[in-house]
Amino acid sequence: MVEGNPQPKKSDLGVRTASAIVMLAVAGGALWAGDPWLDLFIVLVALACVVEFARLVTLATSPGLGRLAALLAGLAYVALAASALVQLPVGALLGVILIVIATDTGAYFSGRTFGGPKIAPKISPSKTWAGLLGGMLAAGLVSAATFVWNTGELVLRPMLFIAFAIGAVLAVVAQSGDFLESWLKRKAGVKDSSNLIPGHGGVFDRVDGLLPVAIVALPLWLMHP
């Protein structure tokens, strides 16, 4: 997921749009269908991520214990995220997805509008501090709106501010996942995790921010009264 990059070339826009529609339709259909189809969809996405993670690690490392350790760490990372996604109820899962989308959208437009200092130019040259703050604001607002929707109360009280803060923190977590994949791709010398999705790269490219957010969101949900 890329923040603040120029618009895709016109020749690529149609393919990207068609792929995005298909992805939204498949993911939306899985959410609507519920179990067992939703769980199956999550497992398939996780398997694709594991394969793509392994590809990046293989390209980025030399044979040996270091590569094996990285492969095992990647497997554990994706498996933990998939387990969290499966355990979250559909309403919470949808909220997590919306927060990640809000983070990417807020970061993209804020980064393009304000620019400014880069966070880690050697890892992800397009990401700025302004983009991060924009993503945090957008995610916080979505989290607060989700809280209002679930409670039906538009009242300024501590839990509303806590919901906003949780969304903002999850935005930072999402960006961390994005940085992890960007670092791996830079080490591997590739632009995308794969070419599985026309115009969008790989599955890992699409869910790099969702994976760590899911891992953090599950214990937050379990602590919810």
Q: Is the pLDDT of residue 43 over 50?
A: yes
Tell me how far apart the alpha carbons of residues 125 and 114 are, in angstroms, rounded to a whole number: 15
78-108 in b/e form (b: 16+ CB < 10 A) is bebbbebbbebeeebbebbbbbbbbbbbbbb
Residue 109 domain flag: yes
Instruction: Tell me, yes or no, whether 4 lies in a domain.
Output: no
- The fraction of the chain above a pLDDT of 90, given in percent, is 59
Higher pLDDT, 196 or 64: 64
As given in the structure block, the two tokens for residue 140 are 């916080």
- Give Cα 179 distance to the centre of its chain: 11
Query: Is 168 domain-assigned?
Result: yes
Give how many domains the chain has, as a whole number. Answer: 1
* Structural domain boundaries enclosing 148: 10-223
Grade residue 159 by pLDDT with cuts at 50, 70 and 90.
Answer: confident
